[in-house]
Amino acid sequence: GFIKYWYSGTEYSIEELCISSEFQGHGTGSALLSEIEGHIKNRGINTIILQTKRSAPAFTFYQKNGFVEQSDSVAMYKHC
């Protein structure tokens, strides 16, 4: 991830979070998110943003870890 300076404040953006399948379901991902949160709070950052697909198993993982969907955000793409 990286720190992102945005018009509404400073955020921490998670681009990718990958946990090996052998460690999934054992709290490893949740522990990693907790560590990230602690580090960014120490830097005065209180928002973490990320994107995932609703159909991906990660969607419910993030919900269980306190993430909520943004109603005003849209992911866009263009094939060239």
What pLDDT score does 72 carry?
86
- pLDDT at residue 71 in the model: 86
Q: What are 16-56's pLDDT values in tens digits?
A: 999 999 999 999 999 999 999 999 999 999 999 999 999 99
Neighbours of 64 (CB within 10 A): 10
Q: Quick one: pLDDT at residue 74?
A: 84
Cβ burial, residue 79 (10 Å; 0-12/13-18/19+): exposed
Lookup result for tokens 């198993």 = 57
Cα distance between residue 69 and residue 37, in whole Å: 18
pTM, full prediction: 0.84
Whole-Å CA distances, 40 to 33, 37, 59, 78: 11, 5, 22, 32
